[in-house]
Amino acid sequence: MFIYILAAVFNFVDLKKVSAARAYSILSLIGSVLNLAALVAMIIVNRRLPLATGYEFLLSFALVMVVIYRFMVIKDDIRSAGGFVMLIAALLLFAAAIQIPGNYNGSGPLMPALKSPWLGVHVLTAVIAYGGFALAASLAIMNLAGEMEPKTSSSIYNLVAGSFAMLSLSIVLGAVWAEQAWGTYWSWDPKETWAMITWIIYAIYLHLHRRQGWKGKKADILVIVGFIIVLFTFFGVNYLMSGLHSYS
Amino acid sequence: MFKFIKQIYQKCSSMKTGLILLGLISLVSAIGTGIFPDGFPRTTLFRLLILFLFINMFLCTASQSKRFINRIHKKQIIKWLSTKQGGTLLLHTGIILVLIGGGINSIYGQTAQIIIKEGDTISVSKLISSKSAFKLKLNKFEIKFNPDGSPAQYYSGINIISEIKPLVKASISVNHPLKYEGVKLYQESFGYLVVTQAENGGKKIGKTIKEGETIKPPGTSRIVRVYKYIPNYNPQYGMETKTLRPDNPRVMFSVYEDKNLLGVGVARLGEPVKIDRDTIVKFKAIKLYSVINAKTDPGLSFTCIGGVMLVVGVFLALFISQLLKPTNMAGEDGSKDILAEDNH
Ligand code: HEM
């Protein structure tokens, strides 16, 4: 329920933004506060971090993206991507809302394999990484559309670099946990494989970025492709393939 | 001739080759997860690609380290390690170590599945190579439940019996493996055995059977199959158990004569079931068996060290340096002099 309202607010934000910048900032603030409130409510009800189901993950994902964006607005002064960032946040929340009826079994206790402190940090770092990649892709799209200040290119690079570090940490922590729970740090299940593909795509981006020809449009496209793969890793793998990660 | 070797060496150690390999590896993996999800990492193509990547990264990182080391003896190592180049070097060395560890594991690592019922003893060293021989006895398999009846944890209470070391009493549970003599033991799953007794007049036979197996009672041509143990029976859920907690245990069974199904029933534990004029079957008790996974991984120390180096390196190279210079274009902060050659 909460979330439907939230999604609507975020969507609304995007429409309003065109006409009134003030309405945009108020609404986006309300949106993130509601998003945060929903997460805090879940923490209190379930007495654990809201990171164990796909639904909880999406909510955190959206919040992280918006929060990083706020920081970037303050730091690098890139405002014009706001509408697009909000749109992606809204889509994520919408996806979360779709998940509620069928998939939301998150209010119960965790199954034994998920009861590990590694789970919390593994998923938390993944959320931060995905949030950063989402934001980088939003900026890249705006960049391609020609609506951005020239500074964005380096902001995108910084975002990808930071998120890549987080993703690396997340993968390694996930491996530590898998070693404890399943006895293999890497079992090539589809989720792991696609996380590795994501990781490699962004590694390629980071390497190519050092070359002259790879700082403009081509790099932006790579960042967007990377994010499409992130989305596939998250949604596609869950719905199309089965594996050890099928709980989320 | 020498020039030719040098050319090959340069091709093999160039970043371009590395990136092409990385691209190919992700392409093969992407196709692989769709077409044969279990098999692709074991295909020759995939292994070759990983091997080439290893060689490429090894050569590339080795030449980077050489230059790195040539420069650092003038200054302190810590200061250099904390630069972007130091982090990058650490990161790549970490990946190489992970690849080495994974390679050793795929060649020398072993796994074995131990299926053991309560009270039994199994020699682990016959299944997998350990530093010294030992046996494992399962005292009790136990499930702890949440208030709602869902499982909270699975425990195998075990004794480890070694000829040279004192007896160890331990417990293996999910997320809490046990390490002994180079072997790691993991709780994998469990199952039920039904202690069954059949009686006809004075004749009695007993058998402990798995789900799906049969017992042939004396004095009748009929056969009883234990179809399923249902720990918490509720007619609304049909054959499915409501929870794993044994609140209302039942055994579902079927009776056959000459391969024809005569009927299906559900019985309480210990309840006498008349399956023929004078033949009675009782499902007396449930015994649990535990499935424990045993594993050795001689490459694990490489993988662990590599993983730590990777994470520390990636943070030094990408996170910390980005935080310190948030709006600076990366790759333009003096890293060129160390890596001048990779502008192919
Ligand atoms: C899975 C494989 C790899 C990963 C995750 C990876 C990751 C990275 C990262 C994160 C950087 C820092 C980028 C930057 O500062 O902008 C980097 C730099 C670099 N990598 Fe890789 N890399 C991989 C494979 C390779 C391979 C195969 C080569 C070549 C043989 C290579 C050569 C380099 C070089 C020369 C640099 C430049 C260092 C610098 O800018 O200071 N890497 N790598």
Ligand 1 centre distance from Cα of residue A172 (Å): 18
Show me where the domains of chain B are located: 2-109+299-340, 111-191+291-296, 192-287
Question: Which residue lies with its CA nearest to atom 4 of ligand 1?
Answer: A203
pLDDT for the residue B202: 82
Q: What digits encode the pLDDT tens for the residues B187-242? A: 988 889 999 999 888 888 998 998 889 999 888 889 999 998 999 888 888 788 88
d(Cα B328, Cα B293) in Å, to the nearest integer? 50
For residue B33, list chain A residues with Cβ-Cβ distance below 8 A. 190, 193-194, 237, 241
- Tell me the backbone φ, ψ of residue B277, rounded to 5 degrees: -50, -50
Mutation target for B interface from A207, A214, A222: give the one with most B CBs within 10 A: A207
Average pLDDT in the B255-274 region?
89
pLDDT for the residue B195: 94
The pLDDT confidence band at residue B160, using thresholds 50, 70 and 90, is: very high
pLDDT for the residue B327: 44
- Tell me the backbone φ, ψ of residue A78, rounded to 5 degrees: -115, 100
pLDDT for the residue B76: 63
pLDDT for the residue B240: 81
A164 inside 8 A of chain B by CB: yes
Show me where the domains of chain A are located: 51-78+92-100+112-240
pLDDT for the residue B303: 95
Average pLDDT in the B294-298 region?
92
Ligand 1 centre distance from Cα of residue A211 (Å): 13
Minimum CA–CA partner of A191 in chain B: B33
Give the pTM. 0.83
Average pLDDT taken over every residue of chain B: 84
A209 lines ligand 1 (CB under 6 A): yes
ipTM > 0.90, yes or no? no
Helix (H/G/I), strand (E/B), else coil: B73 = coil
Mutation target for A interface from B17, B29, B145: give the one with most A CBs within 10 A: B29
Inter-chain CB proximity B311 and A172 less than 8 Å = yes
CA distance B214 to chain A (A): 33
d(Cα B139, Cα B120) in Å, to the nearest integer? 8
Is the pLDDT higher at B189 or at A95?
A: B189
B59 lines ligand 1 (CB under 6 A): no
Is the pLDDT higher at A149 or at B118?
A: B118
| pLDDT above 70 coverage of chain B, percent | 88
pLDDT for the residue B281: 92
pLDDT for the residue B24: 94
Contact of B95 with B313, CB cutoff 8 Å? no
Q: What digits encode the pLDDT tens for the residues A142-173? A: 888 766 566 667 788 888 999 999 999 999 99
Q: Which has the closest alpha carbon to A226: A138, A146, A158, A154?
A: A138
Mutation target for A interface from B40, B175, B297, B316: give the one with most A CBs within 10 A: B175
For chains A and B, count residue pairs whose Cβ atoms are closer than 8 Å.
Answer: 123
Q: What digits encode the pLDDT tens for the residues A172-192? A: 999 998 888 888 888 888 888
CB within 8 Å of B1: residues ≥ 6 apart: none
Per-residue three-class SS string for A148-180: CCCCHHHHHHHHHHHHHHHHHHHHHHHHHHHHH
A183 inside 8 A of chain B by CB: yes
Ligand 1 centre distance from Cα of residue A120 (Å): 29
